[in-house]
């Protein structure tokens, strides 16, 4: 029998007969590892313990101590166990697909009756019964005809379609969890009892079209979450409860920041408070960019398709663009335009006006660019996923030898802004060259080296996303962690050698010849809409004073204080504070409760004593009791507190 060599993480290697399984390799290393093993990594691929190994490989054995593989297997097995439970409870239900997703899994079912919350409880109980049975998990590879015949006989039409879609020559792998069988790539655990029975929960049911196509049948999708321990599950559910309290859509209503409606799907109606927050953030970014050496520009909303064809967006992005047809005067055909989905081609047009010298580079060009992208209605989600948005967009035109310095400069620029906005830490992800790409390998080598070196020089480690770069260049993604531990990908930096070529951007070098600039696409916030949604949820609506939409409410206790209250408001506004008066004939406790719900950080209460003393009583959001002080003293303190971080 043929021999293969397996190399282990410590560098040692052993020879085995071809066809040995990963389970047998684990047992050969040690009996205890053989018992603990749950899967293997073979040349970087997640590998089932039951699969035969046919070639020389690098191998490592995974146990439940390895979080990544363990969670993937637990969640994948639970998808199958849930589908088995559903079919044991309702044998007529048809099964489709059930992938692992972040924190859990889902499975889509074809059932005439809708699943109810009571049904989810019954399914959970049945799943725990199956787990406690400790049924073996086994696998076989079948030929396509056998698999199709099996699913036709068992009346599983969705599985028939899935098998038919598998490319000729690819294995058709079948898995059994006890008596129940499913089509699956794997890998899986070795028996149902390896799944923690107390560390999962079914969360919700939603509609989903078969294969994501609205022309197909609508199915019912059950979502679940799972972890390695009950404590981890409990922590996750607590986080979800906290996230629900922080939901920016609910807080947006309570704080009267914005609303959205059917007549303008994916578009935001900003109310006065929300727009105050928006413009405060924009003014801050404008100052930061000016200090960072950026020039601010503004480009058209509607641009002829010819530019989008030249840039490559018409071919690659047309389905996400809003098309505008115009009957131009004296024209034989309608003029076809598009609302811009991004700003980069327009920035190149500004760059191309007039010759540029190498001495003028880098040129940092910024725009608060209003963009529109078609997003399916089902994908829209408050401020987090919209169709109309404004990017804090900029493009840095530079020479190849300036990429590293500009990257480091940008990371330092971005990190200072994130700190000012309350995010002390962020992660960096590095995406390198994809299989299909433009540009020569030596150029990619330079760009990737420059991004990596600059990131390291700025003091940040990075996580590698192999092959996930844009077709025109590598990129960095900056991921924020919010107050309750959620990650948000916001900032980006992408190196682009392609668009300057397509749109004929040049500069005159020191040698007097024309050269192509490199184009660095960069954003810090991403979009104002989404970032404001993140800010609302991060702070639970309790913004730092300088960002608060309504900073001060002056509330009267008696009507005799109305004139003085209006005087106080006028003076606060004159000093640049966002202040308003509440002169309603309501009790002060009622006013305090209402403005606390609205997350107003400072309430100044004024009664007869305050009028006579020219003072105010200060109540801060989240604090008990009030403090009284002369108005001018309080005003000076609030002005200092309201100063944006970059101006302190």
List residues with catalytic annotation. Answer: 344, 373, 391, 393, 395, 475, 521
Q: Which residues contact 35 (CB under 8 A, 6 or more apart)?
A: none
DSSP class per residue in 211-227: GG-TTS-EEEEEEEEE-
CA nearest to 98, candidates 123, 62, 133: 123
507 phi and psi angles, rounded to 5 deg: -140, 160
Question: Residue 77 is inside which H or E element, if any?
Answer: helix 67-89
Q: In Å, how far are 76, 194, 486 from 226, measured between CA atoms?
A: 10, 13, 17
Instruction: Enter the tokens of residue 516.
Output: 């192509």
482 phi and psi angles, rounded to 5 deg: -90, -175
Helix, strand, or coil (residue 630): strand
Q: What is the 3-state secondary structure (H, E, C) of 88-152?
A: HHCCCCEECCCCEECCEEEEEEECCCCCCHHHHHHHHHHHHHHHHHCCEEEEEEECHHHHHHHHH
Determine the Cα–Cα distance for residues 106 and 93; give it in Å rounded to an integer: 16
Q: Which residues contact 250 (CB under 8 A, 6 or more apart)?
A: none
Determine the Cα–Cα distance for residues 540 and 553; give it in Å rounded to an integer: 19
Q: Is the dihedral of CA 349, 350, 354, 360 positive or negative?
A: negative
CA nearest to 347, candidates 286, 393, 309, 291: 393
Determine the Cα–Cα distance for residues 395 and 471; give it in Å rounded to an integer: 17
Q: Do residues 374 and 344 make contact, with C-beta atoms less than 8 angstroms apart?
A: no
Determine the Cα–Cα distance for residues 430 and 416; give it in Å rounded to an integer: 20
Cβ-based burial of 626 (10 A; exposed 0-12, middle 13-18, buried ≥19): middle
Chain centroid to CA 638: how far?
35
Interhelix angle 403-420/441-457, nearest 10 degrees? 40
Q: Where are the alpha helices (DSSP H) in 575-630?
A: 588-597, 608-613
Instruction: Enter the tokens of residue 553.
Output: 């409410």
Please identify which residue in the block is written with the tokens 């559903």. Answer: 86
CA 604, 610, 615: angle at the middle one, nearest 5?
70
Q: In Å, how far are 22, 389, 548, 629 from 539, measured between CA atoms?
A: 48, 22, 10, 28
Please identify which residue in the block is written with the tokens 């990963």. Answer: 22
């Amino acid at each position: 029998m043929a021999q293969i060599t397996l190399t282990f993480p410590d560098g040692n290697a052993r020879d085995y007969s071809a066809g040995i399984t990963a389970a047998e390799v684990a047992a050969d290393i040690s009996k205890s590892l053989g018992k603990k093993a749950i899967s293997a990594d073979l040349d970087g691929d997640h590998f089932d313990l039951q699969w035969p190994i046919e070639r020389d490989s690098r191998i490592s054995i995974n146990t439940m101590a390895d979080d990544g593989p363990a969670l993937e297997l637990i969640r994948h097995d639970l998808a199958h166990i849930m589908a088995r439970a559903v079919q044991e409870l309702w044998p007529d239900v048809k099964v489709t697909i059930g992938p692992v997703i972040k924190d859990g899994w889902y499975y889509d079912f074809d059932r005439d009756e809708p699943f109810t919350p009571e049904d989810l409880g019954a399914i959970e109980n049945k799943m725990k019964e199956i787990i406690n049975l400790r049924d073996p998990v086994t696998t076989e590879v079948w030929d396509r005809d056998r698999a199709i015949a099996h699913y036709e006989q068992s009346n599983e039409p969705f599985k028939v379609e899935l098998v038919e879609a598998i490319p000729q020559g690819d294995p058709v792998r079948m898995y059994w969890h006890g008596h129940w069988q499913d089509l699956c790539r794997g890998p899986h655990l070795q028996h149902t009892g390896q799944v923690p029975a107390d560390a999962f929960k079914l969360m919700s049911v939603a509609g989903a079209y078969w294969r994501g196509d609205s022309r197909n049948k609508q199915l019912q999708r059950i979502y679940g979450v799972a972890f390695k321990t009950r404590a981890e599950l409990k922590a996750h559910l607590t986080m979800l409860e906290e996230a629900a309290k922080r939901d920016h859509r609910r807080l947006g209503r309570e704080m009267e920041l914005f609303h959205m409606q059917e007549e303008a799907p994916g578009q935001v109606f900003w109310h006065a408070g929300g727009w105050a927050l928006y413009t405060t953030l924009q003014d801050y970014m404008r100052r930061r960019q000016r200090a960072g050496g950026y020039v601010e520009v503004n480009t058209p909303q509607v641009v002829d398709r010819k530019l989008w064809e030249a840039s490559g967006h018409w071919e690659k992005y047309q389905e996400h663009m809003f098309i505008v047809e115009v009957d131009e005067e004296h024209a034989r055909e309608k003029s076809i335009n598009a609302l811009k989905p991004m700003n980069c081609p327009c920035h190149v047009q500004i760059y191309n006006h007039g010759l540029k010298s190498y001495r003028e580079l880098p040129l940092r060009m910024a725009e608060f660019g209003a963009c529109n992208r078609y997003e399916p209605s089902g994908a829209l989600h408050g401020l987090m996923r919209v169709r109309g948005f404004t990017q804090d967009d900029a493009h840095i035109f530079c020479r190849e030898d300036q990429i590293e310095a500009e990257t480091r400069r940008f990371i330092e620029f971005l990190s200072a802004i994130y700190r000012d906005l309350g995010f002390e830490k962020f992660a960096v992800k590095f995406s390198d060259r994809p299989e299909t790409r433009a540009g020569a390998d030596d150029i990619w080598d330079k760009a990737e080296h420059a991004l990596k070196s600059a990131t390291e020089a700025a003091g940040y480690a990075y996580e590698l996303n192999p092959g996930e770069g844009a077709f025109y260049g590598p990129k960095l993604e900056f991921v924020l962690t919010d107050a309750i531990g959620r990650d948000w990908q916001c900032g980006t930096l992408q190196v682009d050698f392609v668009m300057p070529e397509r749109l004929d951007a040049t500069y005159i070098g020191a040698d007097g010849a024309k050269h192509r600039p490199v184009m660095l696409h960069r954003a810090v916030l991403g979009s104002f809409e989404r970032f404001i949604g993140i800010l609302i949820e991060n702070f639970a609506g309790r913004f730092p004073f300088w960002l608060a939409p309504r900073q001060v409410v002056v509330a009267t206790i008696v009507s005799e204080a109305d004139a003085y209250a209006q005087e106080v408001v006028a003076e606060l506004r004159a000093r640049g504070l966002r202040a308003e008066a509440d002169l309603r004939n309501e009790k002060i406790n009622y006013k305090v409760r209402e403005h606390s719900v609205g997350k107003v950080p400072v309430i100044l209460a004024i009664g007869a004593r305050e009028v006579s003393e020219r003072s105010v009583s200060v109540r801060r959001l989240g604090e008990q009791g009030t403090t009284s002080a002369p108005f001018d003293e309080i005003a000076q303190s609030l002005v200092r507190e309201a100063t944006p971080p970059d101006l302190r």
